[in-house]
Amino acid sequence: AADDDAVDPENSLLLWRAAQAVGVSAELHLFPHGGHGFGTRLPPGEPAAAWPLLLTRAAAAAGVFTA
């Protein structure tokens, strides 16, 4: 999340850019708030609450597992 006070969100951007630079398909979702380590049980309606579904869809699309 953009308001992570434990790890600079820029690290996620750097990882995404590095993946792009070597032709690795990657998704990046930077949520406006949620802090660090917000887990899978955020209140419905919080933007970051969508991340488990986003991960599942991305992994399925990459053939990592089937949703």
Q: Where residue 44 falls among pLDDT bands split at 50, 70, 90?
A: confident
- Whole-prediction pTM value? 0.76
Q: Which two tokens stand for residue 25?
A: 């398909």
Each residue's pLDDT tens digit, 12-35? 999 999 999 999 988 999 999 888
Measured in whole angstroms, how far is the alpha carbon of residue 19 from the centre of its chain? 14
The beta-strand segments (E) located in the chain are none
